[in-house]
Structure 1
Amino acid sequence: MKEEFYTRGRWQNWINKIKESGFTLQESDEDPSAAVFVYAMDDVVLACLKVIARCEHTTITKEEAIYAIDEIRDIVSERDDSLGEDANLMLESLNAALTAVFISSQRYIDGGYDRKTKLEDLVKKAVLAEEADRMEEALGVLSDIGARVIGGEALPEEVFEDLPYSLTAELLDGIDAISAAQIGDDSYKEDDGSEDDGDDS
């Protein structure tokens, strides 16, 4: 039986919590209802890290791991118009950030990423590629950055300074979420699939 690393029911729980939060876009960054989006992103990031851990424990193959990440992406990309305009805008931003999580995870699993260029230089390269409307190139560079963060490197704080508002900036938020998740609960690293604890919460 093929394992499900993330389920539609699990994502629907987050959608329901977003509805219950009554989120609206406000001037203040301290709106407590916005926290649900952060928690939802962390949950998805940890699911991706669990896939990677299983691959590194050779419980699943690289191909299975990459497919599992695709399945998670498909689940969280679904829309619910009943959330309201403001919540849907936040959900779009969340999905942009998660795009970086998915492509970074798959690049890390594949292993063919730039391990030498300074991360600061890669961020500049991604920004320039987006400004030149070469988004495929920008996404490729960002996946290299994310793969290295998954591998244990940290994004220097200065890369966020003077970063123009852009898709690249939103994607870097997703990569930063990977780093934050790894600093937090790292029990996923020891999860080799020998005990299935169920993740449909």
Structure 2
Amino acid sequence: MRMLTFYSQERWNNWINQVKESKFKIDPTAEGLGREGIVFLDMEEDVILALCKVTGKLQLGTLAKEDAANSIQGMKEIVLAKIEPMDEDKDAMIESVQSSLVGAFAAAEAFVGGDFDPKQKVEELVLQASKAEEGGDMDKAFEMMGKAGALVLAGKKFDSDKVYEKIPPESFVAEGVDGLDTILAVLAGGIDYTDEADDEGD
């Protein structure tokens, strides 16, 4: 039996190389990241697509729980590893992408472990996480974001704009909501679970 590779080191390296080659600079006066900054959105979405494939195949019964957990751990080791510094702006954006993905990985882990209550609301869990972060309890903030994300992976919707209004913009939770927002977008776009090209990675 072949082990599915949902995400490879080579795939992540390709994104990092694209960032290196880009002319990206943070422009405080601009709305959004600009054309050169799209790479950061794309790399985050690409990782989350792979995560959604793992949880989706688990839901469909075509991937064992243990294999799903191992796949997520393998992806974490690739994506959250320290990146060699490039320049201040690019480094800040890579850090932001990784922070967003920390929440997405927590969501996938909570989903695989069944560590969430389907009756809870995403918004309430995010606000609990934000309150915990403000109180300095990062373990609880991380746990609540994981549970919120697991609900999103299970198909629950939430209004991210309303949530953003209620949480500090420069926070772990805000970065996490960004990741959950991307999960929503990826799931809404549809995922082809029959494509087995990920056997050897992309």
**One fold, TM greater than 0.5?**
yes
Corresponding residue for residue 116 of structure 2: 113
Bigger CA drift: 154-163 or 127-136?
Answer: 154-163
- The answer as to 2:147 corresponding to 1:144 is yes
Distance 2:126 2:105 in 1: 18
Corresponding residue for residue 3 of structure 1: 4
Corresponding residue for residue 15 of structure 2: 14
Structure 2 length as normaliser, TM-score? 0.90
2:87 to 65, 84, 90: 84
Bigger CA drift: 161-170 or 98-107?
Answer: 161-170
Note the C-alpha offset of 1:82.
4.7
State the identity as a percent. 33
2:104 to 101, 113, 124: 101
Structure 1 length as normaliser, TM-score? 0.90
Note the C-alpha offset of 1:17.
0.8
Alignment root-mean-square deviation, CA: 1.7
Distance 2:96 2:86 in 1: 14
2:26 maps to amino acid: L
Note the C-alpha offset of 1:96.
0.6
Note the C-alpha offset of 1:77.
1.6
- The answer as to 2:31 corresponding to 1:29 is yes
2:168 to 151, 164, 167: 164
Distance 1:57 1:114 in 2: 20
Note the C-alpha offset of 1:163.
2.1
Give ranges in structure 1 of 5+ residues lacking alignment: none
Give ranges in structure 2 of 5+ residues lacking alignment: none
- How many equivalent residue pairs? 196
Corresponding residue for residue 184 of structure 1: 189
Corresponding residue for residue 122 of structure 1: 125
Distance 1:2 1:123 in 2: 34
Runs of 4+ in 1 over 4 A off after TM superposition: none
2:8 maps to amino acid: T
Distance 1:36 1:81 in 2: 17
Corresponding residue for residue 178 of structure 2: 173
Distance 1:82 1:128 in 2: 33
Note the C-alpha offset of 1:117.
2.9
Note the C-alpha offset of 1:29.
2.8
